[in-house]
Structure 1
């Protein structure tokens, strides 16, 4: 039977203790008389020495096994995280969440007015109303909205924004997991697709937060940029440290240009 690493170390420690004990008496026989008053009795009782050493060895072995169990538990936790997150991300229900979320973000890319509206809705105060100029874009991005009345589109957009909240929460939970780096090595989660559109939204949200004392007073939820900074670090993206770096990245990203980025973002 093959021993595990802790088992091998435990066997080695016990064997070493027994060997030391077995050699102690012959060595003592050749030492000058009086070095040990009586090797077999009071001061140097062989059995006491052996059992004491074995007890100490048992403590060491216990610690080794505990360390091994912790390592195994950690590995199982990572594997469970990978499985759970992958199941969530690939489920049919979550596909609806992704589709609805990306529609909102694409509308924000195509319309700066809608983007400002979307960022405002991430706070409980100072929320903007849905701009009428964005209704044609919402119809363009979703076939189900094309024949709907304006009032119905408002309700449909609200449903999409609720899905965006779920998507933002998903990325926030991913960023906060200690095992994120290991999980991401196994499941990509298409972050490179989400990154530019999320940074656009996150930067607008941050600018609204910094510009409003009311928002700072009443809104304590974590900003989207905190999640993005954590995910960027895990994925190995260069950090976006300043406002200018963020907007240079957003407005210069080839995919954002292909999506039809509103030219007014370049004026920021």
Structure 2
């Protein structure tokens, strides 16, 4: 009889342990579900906050200042090369007044002296814009949310790709820059942004040339010079 009671006690103990484990699994499942919900909310909230920043009065100044650099860079090959060189600590080019005739066609500044006085400030704002889109791109788990916010990416895209490829080429072709600087990763950033917006990333320099040639804003409104006739090594860039 005592042996029977002991055996029943063992069975009861095992049963209670099984029930406790089942309850624990259910609690863990509920916790995981709550955590996933919180994570999804956090991702969406992060994108919303970025979008609010993008639409703020302060960031409007960042965008305007960036355009003061990007549009002249699209209009003047010499100024474009200068801007790219300034992303690196070594082998920086100097701002040349010889580029002003092309720059003046699209610049909001009336003289070269005025342009030169404001150029560095505007270029720093371009750095800020690029850093903003870098942060945006690395929200890679929230690509569906990014795609629902415009961020004017279709406008920035061709200019971002030109910067990214030119940066890569300048770095790859200069041992001095490689010695004193680090490889920039902006090309990976624009690739991630393309994927977030369901666009096919640029794979070759030829594809970039085609994008610029056919772009309604860049090819018509701003009268590009030989920027759309990119160097031969661009067309070979993978």
- TM-score range with shorter-chain normalisation? 0.7 to 0.9
1:221, distance to aligned residue in structure 2 (A)? 4.9
CA-CA distance at 1:239 after TM superposition: 2.2
2:20 aligned with 1:43: no
Residue 196 (structure 2) pairs with residue 234 (structure 1) = yes
* C-alpha distance in 2 between matches for 1:262 and 1:118: 16
Change (3 A) 1:260 1:184: same
Query: 2: distance between equivalents of 1:133 and 1:48?
Result: 90
Aligned CA RMSD, in angstroms, stands at 2.1
Shift of 1:210: 1.5
Q: Which residue of 1 aligns with 2:39?
A: 74
Q: CA deviation at 1:138?
A: 4.4
Which has the greater radius of gyration?
Answer: 1
- By how many angstroms is 1:264 displaced? 5.0
Q: Give 1:93's aligned residue.
A: 58
Offset at residue 137 of structure 1 (A): 4.6
Deviation of 1:182 after TM superposition, in Å, equals: 2.9
Query: In the alignment, is residue 263 of structure 1 matched against residue 219 of structure 2?
Result: no
Contact persistence 1:89–1:189 (CA under 8 A): yes
Give yes or no for the alignment of 1:131 onto 2:96: yes
Q: 2 CA distance for matches of 1:207 and 1:68?
A: 47
- State the TM-score, normalizing by the size of structure 2: 0.86
Matched, 1:216 2:217: no
Q: What is the match of residue 54 of structure 1?
A: 19
- For the pair 1:202 / 2:167, whether they are aligned, the reply is no
Distance in 2, matches of 1:56 and 1:201, equals: 57
Aligned residue among 108, 118, 135 for 1:173: 135
Aligned partners of 1:252 and 1:142: how far apart in 2? 22
For structure 1, list consecutive stretches of 5 or more residues without a partner in the other structure: 1-36
C-alpha distance in 1, partners of 2:80/2:186? 14
Deviations 1:65-90 (A, max 9, x none): 22112212212211221221111000
Query: Over residues 28-63 of structure 1, what are the superposed CA-to-partner deviations in whole Å (9 max), with x where a residue is unaligned?
Result: xxxxxxxxx84xx22233642442122111221122
